[in-house]
């Protein structure tokens, strides 16, 4: 059985799907691993590191045609999907609900597809939870970039020349990224407030030393059975926006992270609210890949609106490739343990994690939400 690691095709991607540590786990199980030259260079892993871990270096086209498993960060380009072997496996952030048509080449080629986004969030799958890994990196990095660009200090400082008040940070969405942003901003000395539509997030926010903004949504059910936020009615969204507007006017930095799986990100900050924010303030919109939480966000661009700078990167984690790759590789490696038995590819489609994350098998889409997403776009 051959596992192949390719250099990511996307220009803004510096991560690699499997690091030399992940290779060692596989080679220790009699799995052959081959790597395209320089695949890990930007994540701090040289070809020599891979060969020391037991992999060989090979040409991309050979790997596409012969590999049994190709772990990826981003889905392979359509033309390359067609070159993959029937019955082989591609696993990674395949964006099956956002862009299912980008998978058609692999589906038609009979490739079995596993989406890291669809790994169920059950206890047994925690070590494979790549969304949480990446959200942790993103939440940290957003605060660091905002602190770097803010024309103010973060901590309270009492000096002989006077007292500097602490920066005020507002975090919208207190999931994995939001909680990491809160923790990072607190460590830098900022005063932090946060809002989330899930009441359960309140305790976690407070345990990190931040204030939770309470909004009375009249007992509305805001959480699905998977623990994710539901899409809100326009009225409930508006109540949140009003509370946020009051806090945003006082804030030096607003970090937004609110997302609803498979939907456009909720709009939480209106243009009018941005107009009332302090000049020099910063909005860091981590929901930009899903359209953004702020009305004036331009995904992929940094813009200035009424003196407020809005950062909206679409692949912020790629700016921290070493640790993002380390975490992702561990998640991938743990997933591979489910489908590699005694050096052979063995897929048990009854396993809850495999069934939940499998998008396509034997030329057919096997996930109802993905089929529906594809039909909706046809
Ligand atoms: P996410 O990235 O989908 O969303 C980020 C946050 O935005 C969430 O907390 C969500 O409630 C919030 N949000 C969505 N719409 C909003 C709105 N209109 N207004 C305000 N906030 C809004 O979520 P995530 O960070 O991936 O995690 C979501 C949940 O899953 C959390 O409860 C988290 O603790 C839980 N989780 C569980 C596991 C596990 O059990 N293995 C792993 C990771 C996360």
Q: Whose CA is nearest to atom 4 of ligand 1?
A: 259
pTM for this entry: 0.95
Task: Please identify, by atom number, the ligand 1 atom nearest to the C-alpha of residue 258.
Answer: 7
DSSP string, 251-314: -SEEEE----TTSPPP--B-HHHHHTSPTT-EEEETTGGGT-SBTT--TT-EEEETTEEEE--S
What integer pLDDT is reported at residue 283 of this predicted model?
A: 98
The atom number, within ligand 1, closest to the CA of 123 reads 41
pLDDT at 210 over 90: yes
Question: What is the C-alpha to C-alpha distance for residues 58 and 10, in angstroms, rounded to an integer?
Answer: 20
Pairing mode of beta strands 282-285, 302-305 = unpaired
**Cα(341)–Cα(377) distance, integer angstroms:** 38
**What's the rounded mean pLDDT across residues 18-37?**
97
What does residue 372 show for φ and ψ, rounded to 5 degrees? Answer: -65, -40
Query: Whose alpha carbon is nearest atom 39 of ligand 1?
Result: 121
The pLDDT of residue 220 = 82
Ligand 1 near 201 CB (within 6 A): yes
Q: What is the mean pLDDT of residues 183-200?
A: 96
Q: Say if ligand 1 is within 6 A of residue 285 CB.
A: no
Q: Which of 101-115, 133-147, 213-227 shows the lowest per-residue confidence on average (mean pLDDT)?
A: 213-227
pLDDT tens, residue by residue, 276-309:
999 999 999 999 999 999 999 999 999 999 999 9
Mean pLDDT lowest among 190-194, 211-215, 225-229, 373-377: 225-229
> Is the distance from the beta carbon of residue 174 to the nearest atom of ligand 1 less than 6 Å?
yes
355 CA from centroid of ligand 1 (Å): 22
User: Which two structure tokens, joined as six digits, stand for 151?
Assistant: 């024309």
Pocket lining: 259 vs ligand 1, CB cutoff 6 Å:
yes
Q: Would you say the CB of residue 289 lies under 6 angstroms from ligand 1?
A: no
pLDDT at 227 over 80: no
- pLDDT for 216 beyond 90: no
Tens-place pLDDT, residues 262-272: 789 999 999 99
Q: What is the rounded average pLDDT for all residues in the chain? A: 96
Instruction: Say if CB 349 and CB 356 are below 8 A apart.
Output: no
User: So what's the pLDDT on residue 224?
Assistant: 82
Cβ proximity of 46 and 352 under 8 Å: no
Backbone angles phi, psi at 151, to 5 degrees: -80, 30
Q: Whose CA is nearest to atom 41 of ligand 1?
A: 121
Ligand 1 site-directed mutation target among 132, 173, 239, most atoms within 8 Å of CB? 173
- Interhelix angle 321-339/20-27, nearest 10 degrees: 20
Catalytic residue set: 121, 126, 129, 132, 228
Contact 177, 295 (CB under 8 A): no
Which residue has the least CA distance to atom 34 on ligand 1?
Answer: 175
State which ligand 1 atom lies nearest to the alpha carbon of 135.
25
**Closest Cα to atom 24, ligand 1: which residue?**
175
SS3 labels along 229-258: ECCCCHHHHHHHHHHHHHHHHHCCEEEECC
pLDDT tens-digit map of 46-97: 999 999 999 999 999 999 999 999 999 999 999 999 999 999 999 999 999 9
Inform me whether the pLDDT recorded for 236 exceeds 90: no
pLDDT digits (tens, 9 = 90+) for 323-335: 999 999 999 999 9
Average pLDDT over residues 338-353: 96
Whether residue 56 contacts residue 63, with contact meaning beta carbons closer than 8 Å, is answered with no
- Determine if ligand 1 sits within 6 Å of the CB of residue 171: no
Give the residue from 141, 152, 132 showing the smallest Cα distance to 253: 152
How does residue 222 score in pLDDT terms, banded at 50, 70 and 90?
A: confident
Mutate to test the pocket of ligand 1, among 228, 290, 334 (most ligand atoms within 8 A of CB): 228
Average pLDDT value for residue range 235-242: 90
**Mean pLDDT confidence for 31-41:** 98
Averaged pLDDT, 200-205: 94
């Amino acid at each position: 059985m051959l596992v192949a690691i390719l250099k990511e095709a996307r220009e803004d991607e510096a991560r690699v799907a499997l690091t030399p540590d992940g290779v060692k786990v596989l080679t220790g199980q009699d799995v052959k691993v081959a790597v395209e030259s320089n695949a890990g260079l930007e994540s701090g892993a040289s070809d020599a590191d891979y060969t020391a871990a037991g992999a060989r270096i090979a040409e991309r086209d050979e790997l596409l045609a012969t590999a049994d498993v190709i772990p990826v960060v981003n889905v392979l380009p359509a033309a390359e999907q067609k070159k993959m072997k029937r019955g082989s496996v591609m696993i990674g952030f395949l964006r099956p609900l956002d862009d299912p048509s980008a998978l058609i080449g692999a589906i038609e080629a009979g490739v079995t597809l596993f989406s890291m986004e669809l790994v169920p969030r059950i206890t047994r799958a925690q070590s494979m939870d790549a969304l949480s890994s990446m959200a942790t990196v993103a939440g940290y990095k957003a605060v660091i970039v905002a602190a770097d660009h803010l024309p103010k200090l973060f901590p309270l400082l009492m000096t002989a020349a006077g007292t500097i008040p602490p920066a005020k940070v507002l975090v919208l969405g207190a999931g994995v990224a939001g909680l990491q942003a809160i923790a990072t901003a607190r460590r830098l000395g900022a005063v932090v407030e946060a809002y989330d539509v899930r009441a359960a997030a309140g305790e976690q926010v407070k345990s990190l030393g931040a204030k939770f903004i309470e909004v009375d949504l009249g007992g509305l059910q805001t959480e699905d059975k998977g623990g994710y936020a539901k899409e809100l009615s326009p009225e409930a969204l508006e109540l949140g926006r009003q509370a946020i507007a009051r806090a945003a006017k006082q804030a030096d930095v607003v970090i937004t992270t609110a997302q609803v799986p498979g939907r456009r990100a909720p709009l939480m900050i209106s243009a009018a609210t941005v107009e009332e924010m302090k000049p020099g303030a910063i909005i860091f919109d981590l929901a930009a890949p899903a359209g953004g939480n702020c009305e004036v966000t331009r995904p992929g661009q940094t813009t200035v609106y009424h003196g407020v700078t809005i950062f909206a990167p679409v692949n912020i984690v790629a700016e921290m490739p070493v640790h993002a790759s380390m975490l992702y590789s561990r998640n991938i490696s743990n997933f591979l343990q489910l489908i590699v038995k005694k050096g052979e590819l063995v897929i048990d489609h009854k396993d809850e994690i495999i069934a939940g994350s499998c998008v396509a098998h034997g030329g057919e889409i096997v996930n109802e939400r993905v089929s529906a997403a594809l039909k909706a776009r046809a």
